[in-house]
Structure 1
């Protein structure tokens, strides 16, 4: 897994500003997994956004566990009520018995993992017929001239950044590891104020690299200038596509 400290200094902003996932994605996941569930695992849980959603989606019965190695992120997760629990462990060494999990989910975290090692661990801990789910929120840059300009800003000031950094063949990798399954896409939009968008941006490790280069005040000003060019008022609408990839462990 990548540097577990990457988000520790950003954890408070991450908890406050990061988006949830569309309800349709959770309903699709629940229907795919089915009602007979015991242990639901959220790997790379961060501040617990998806972990808490698992509890809301599947109800009071199953054990819901968020796996998060980053101390700062885990502390933020544990500060929010949700009738779930959290453990410190990397994605590549999950602290669960063989064949014990009904679901292994990772939401917005797969790109940080040693993916082959994670897929092997998910296979180990899933019960026969258990589900691995990968959930990804992506800003729909192609649908927004503002987002294109914002990505230009990040690429201009962060030499290690590409807007395509999460574009890898998730579906093909899951097919190879688990066999064929189902992929879903959900389009939606998020409304924020300008300040909320800046807060969301600053909760990103990619934008934080710009902060280290320019300083926070100049970074805020640069993002604000792009916002002002594209939105007349204080309201900002950001289009998203959420991808949900579902596979089963073979019996």
Structure 2
């Protein structure tokens, strides 16, 4: 079981999540693709099964399909009913993205719906901090074929490169329920290096900038669970007004630039 018991907590955010959350930079996706292909080629095979754990509304699953092309099977594993329903509505029979050919299944990181030694990739994008990670790592090792890859990836806002983002994080820390901007400051590399059965570390950080209009910035903010206590405390109208005032203070009333760093941790399943 996940350390976060309520796997349905994003259900009422699914529409906002799909509309406003970013995808991932091509450089990071290309690095995953090359790493996976290298590992599978060493065993005389191409990528067969790619598992996206905590797939949400399918943003990262679609990114995998775009990066790998049509051949590998892609399965998005998502416990949240609302998130999974949104993903399926985008990709299911008759949906506007049917050609993407991605299957979404109910499941958790700690009990993957995959047979032993079948996956070329197990990936968690923007999700691993929610998991019981020791259990997840053991499951990933079980599900991966020899030479297969475990990937952890996350888009982190870079407040060191933006006074606006720094101010936004301070706003959340001031009005949230014990929120800290460092909530994802986890030693993922160290954890992975201690996992029996994994090796061949390849870690990277890709800086990039996302440009939004103010409405999309507010939509992005409202798609996060950390904004919930702020809205409960201040109300939706005041929260939105405070966010618009923040943008105005930083000269971003018409155009918002958010610097990100996409952190990627790759490890290979040993023989």
Per the shorter chain, which TM-score range? over 0.9
TM-score, normalised on structure 1?
0.98
Alignment partner of 2:52: what SS?
Answer: strand
Which of 26, 31, 35 is residue 29 of structure 2 equivalent to? Answer: 26
TM-score, normalised on structure 2?
0.91
Which whole-Å CA distance do the structure 2 matches of 1:64 and 1:225 have between them? Answer: 42
Q: Superposed, which structure 2 residues align to 1:1-150 within 5 Å?
A: 1=2, 2=4, 3-34=6-37, 36-80=46-90, 81=97, 82-150=100-168
Alignment partner of 2:194: what SS?
Answer: helix
Indicate the residue corresponding to 2:225 in structure 1: 205
- Unaligned segments of structure 2, at least 5 residues: 91-96
Indicate the residue corresponding to 2:94 in structure 1: none
2:247/2:253 contact within 8 Å kept: no
Cα distance, 1:232 vs. partner? 4.8
Which whole-Å CA distance do the structure 2 matches of 1:84 and 1:139 have between them? Answer: 28
CA displacement, residues 97-149 of structure 1 (integer Å, 9 cap, x when unaligned): 00010000000000000000000000100011110001110000111111111
Distance 1:165 1:67, change over 3 A: same
Q: How many residues matched? A: 251
Which whole-Å CA distance do the structure 1 matches of 2:162 and 2:219 have between them? Answer: 19
When the two chains are superposed, the root-mean-square deviation of aligned CA atoms in Å is 1.0
Cα distance, 1:157 vs. partner? 0.7
Cα distance, 1:160 vs. partner? 2.4
**Larger displacement relative to structure 2 (187-196 or 177-186):** 177-186
Pair 1:229 & 2:249 matched:
yes
2:177/2:229 contact within 8 Å kept: no
Which whole-Å CA distance do the structure 2 matches of 1:87 and 1:49 have between them? Answer: 15
Cα distance, 1:159 vs. partner? 2.3
